[in-house]
Amino acid sequence: MPPQETTSDIVPLMQKPNSEEASTTDEIIDDPNDVSHGLVHDFVEFGDKLIEAEVDTGEACSLTKLYKGFLMSVAYLDPGNLEADLQSGAAAGYSLLWILLYAHIAGLLIQILSARCGVVTGKHLAQLIRIHYSTPISIVLWLFTEIAIIGSDIQEIVGTAIAIKILFGLPLWVGTMLTAMDTFLFMLLHNYGVRKLEAFFMTLIAFMAVCFWVEMFQSEPNVGEIVKGMLIPAVPRGAVVQAVAMIGAVIMPHNLYLHSALVMTRKTDPSSKAKLKEANFYFSIESALALSCSYLINMAIVVVFARVFYIPGKLKALPGLYDAADVLTKTLGRGARYLWALGLLSAGQSSTMTGTLAGQYVVEGYFGKIFSKSWHRVAITRGIALMPSMFVAVFAVGHFDTMGELLNVLQSLCLPCALIPILKLTSSKEVMGHTFRSHHIWKYITWGLAFIIIGFNLFLFIMYLEELPNLYVGYVCGIIYFAFVLYLAILPIGEKQEDLEIDEMDGYKVIANRLEIVQ
């Protein structure tokens, strides 16, 4: 049964089937326990503009449905990732490839949950948090998310500035100021629709893949050592920080918000369990393909610097994003320098734009419709992250190689504040319904990942505690942070009654969040 076409903002959650329309292959949602389905995805309100479903899932299986996940994969290929990759290869050779692999697998499981949230509920993560958590908790979660976006933006802005310096010789502060211009490019592409934006990003990803894989083949890596590094867990003594930072660089908090919103750009029939399951299936395949590409690109960078920089048993100062170009020039020739810069420029531009898009979803998801025009939304949400990012980048750009590692650690600290809510929401029958909530082993695996990440954060906190200028302040902040994370894990999700919207349509009362149908 094809999806219902409508031009209304709120549409019937379930058409009353008759014997002629009923289909044995298209199961109608009639389980009273499945109360989460029904926000039709043809149009979802977002500020002054609607998130339009531009891709129809259709009736049959088709590879044309596998498109949206590659925009999400950009967040796994930002300059922070590249720096974590090159430093792990430089510090540990091929030994940390297994962490990179497992981090992408963990990211895949979490991204699947994020996509499922949007498909089944018709709301993205920020909107669901605003509905199911109290206002003070929502504000704290928003602050953590904005901190993560700002930290990611600093890496992207400085990474782009370094690429511009390598290519054109401009000072870093000039390149940093030029990165503000990408906001106008984003606004231009966004006005042409998400499909055009994704096509642009996929081009940049392909360009990164070509640049970094050419360099990997030039370095003549040891294939046997690569396979060994992927399969045998080992962390050299001097590479513990790089191992932990890699996790923070791969799984980023704002990517969960972005993916849960992007799925609403596809038409899905919410009255059919079969169609919702099909949509979840295709989004899972998309995520797997996108993160496979991301892993291969990240792996290429680790392999290159394991080959050209790492010497077993000898400790050397690790290169940063700019120093990496000099290292490649000495070992692979001058052409490798420009391949690195072009790949870095592509990573910086693409991830900056996805950060801007995620920032829009986050701000309006938490605070509702607060912008009157589309360009207001882009300019203000971009400015929230851009202004402090540029301030730090301009005045601390000379220390970015040290700062990049700390920013990856910051991402890891912010991650539980996005991960725990999505795990609780997808495990809730009231939110996801009985059919689509996380069950049994899937639930245990994802919560196990959350506790592993929190454990890494505790390790990082203890490691960096002695480096803080004020040990007492460090203890206080650490206790507050871990107490909040624990409180968030045990806090049951609720629902704000003021967020319920009731509308009358075709003889039905539609209660948008509870999704109950009363004739």
Q: What is the pLDDT of residues 4-48, one digit of tens each?
A: 433 333 333 333 334 344 343 344 444 544 544 434 334 444 433
Higher pLDDT, 494 or 57: 494
pLDDT at residue 229 tops 90: yes
Q: List the domain boundaries for the chain.
A: 43-406
**Is residue 311 over pLDDT 50?**
yes
Higher pLDDT: 405 or 252? It is 252
Confidence of residue 248 (pLDDT cuts 50, 70, 90): low
Q: Give the range with max mean pLDDT: 81-90, 181-190, 376-385.
A: 81-90
What pLDDT does residue 187 have?
A: 64
Q: Which residues on adjacent β-strands are paired with residue 504? A: 509
Q: Residue 146 — pLDDT band, cuts 50, 70, 90? A: confident
Q: How far apart are CA 27 and CA 25, in angstroms?
A: 6
For residue 511, list its beta bridge partners: 502
- In which element (H, E) is residue 52 found? strand 49-52
- Local confidence band at 495 (pLDDT 50, 70, 90 cut-offs): low
pLDDT of residue 190: 65
Residue 393: the pLDDT is: 63
| 504-515 pLDDT per residue, tens | 333 333 333 334
Alpha-carbon dihedral sign for residues 48, 45, 512, 490: negative
Average pLDDT, the chain: 75
Q: What pLDDT was estimated at residue 484?
A: 94
Structure confidence at residue 508 (pLDDT): 31
Distance CA 221, CA 28 (A): 54
- 29, 509 Cβ separation under 8 angstroms: no
Task: Spell out a b/e string for 28-38, using b for 16 or more CB atoms within 10 Å of the CB, else e.
Answer: bbeeeebbbbb
pLDDT at 101 over 60: yes
Distance (Å, rounded) from C-alpha 261 to C-alpha 264? Answer: 6
What share of the chain has pLDDT > 70, as a percent? 71
- The CATH superfamily holding the domain 43-406 is Hydantoin permease (1.10.4160.10)
User: Which CB contacts under 8 angstroms, 24+ apart, belong to 362-365?
Assistant: 362/126, 362/142, 362/145, 362/146, 362/149, 362/254, 362/257, 364/46, 364/47, 364/126, 365/124, 365/125, 365/126, 365/127, 365/129, 365/130, 365/257, 365/261
Q: Return the pLDDT at 27.
A: 45
